[in-house]
Amino acid sequence: MAILVISSSLVALIAGLLFNRFAVPRILSGEDPPAMAIKELISPLLSLTVLLLAFVLVSAAGSYGKAEEASRAEARALDQISEAAEYVPVSDRLQIQADAVCYARAVASEEWDSMQYGKGSSVPSIWSTDLRRVFKSIEEDSAFSMLVAADVKRSDEREERLTQSTASVPVLVFWFLLVTLIITISSLGACLPLKKNRGHIVALSVLTALLAAILCIIQDVDQPYSGLIKVNPTAISEIERQAHRDLMKAQGSYILPCGEDGKELREKAN
């Protein structure tokens, strides 16, 4: 999409300059129109920049901010599950903490890649389902309510994280912004003075680059899990390392039911 924005902006700039160079002289019979002051190019730059930056800030505070907070909150909830498991019998504790490690690995490895395309993964659900299965066996335990509350929080934050993986800006709005950019650049290029216009061309080129960059930023920020500005699985990966370290410290010979990517080992064997 960024290539489309940049190429469209360049085409609009070139089209406006060509129109100014070859068509305007014929239309005006060789008379040079009143020169356009550079400040007249700066004026639409300021207004459009403010408008588009406001749009970027809304997108960042909305989609990107919610995505980042949801990923951190999910990691905290998973950490609470792993810590609350310390208050249940050993066999159940090991299973809960192992499921927590595998869930974190599945999210960071499998689901994070899928979210670049606005999709989730079924792999984390394997371990969240197994967590609830273990919870049923400890309903009478004092830690049961803590575990369930943390798991509900984890589930809610995962749902929010997946929701934010889809673009919040409608496609129609993005195309409207792109068409507006093309019309603006072409119109300004066509209105340049015919003579002594080198400074105007430079100013218009800078304006074109900035407007194209802003529109690329809007598109990039609106997809929090892909592009240059993206949310990384740092929080949940850190929780995975801590939970795995604590599990191995307490039970060094314990074999996790999943691999590094969070997939079931028996699934890999098949």
pLDDT band at 95 (very low <50, low <70, confident <90, very high): very high
Mean pLDDT value across residues 182-210: 79
| Residues paired with 8 in a beta bridge | none
Q: Does residue 80 surpass a pLDDT of 90?
A: yes
**Which has the closest alpha carbon to 63: 173, 220, 223?**
223
pLDDT computed for residue 270 by the predictor: 41
**Chain-wide mean pLDDT for the chain?**
81
Whether pTM > 0.85 for this model: the answer is: no
CA pair distance 256, 144, nearest whole angstrom: 23
DSSP single-letter state for residue 242 = H
Q: Does residue 50 surpass a pLDDT of 70?
A: no
| Residues paired with 258 in a beta bridge | 264
Q: What backbone phi and psi angles, to 5 degrees, belong to 120?
A: -105, -165
pLDDT computed for residue 211 by the predictor: 79
pLDDT band at 26 (very low <50, low <70, confident <90, very high): low
CA pair distance 199, 38, nearest whole angstrom: 8
CA pair distance 47, 188, nearest whole angstrom: 14
Residue type, 186: S
pLDDT computed for residue 251 by the predictor: 74
Residue type, 265: L
Maximal C-alpha separation, the chain = 93
pLDDT computed for residue 182 by the predictor: 81
pLDDT band at 131 (very low <50, low <70, confident <90, very high): very high
pLDDT computed for residue 169 by the predictor: 77
Q: Which residue has the higher pLDDT, 94 or 251?
A: 94
Lowest mean pLDDT among 72-81, 123-132, 213-222: 213-222
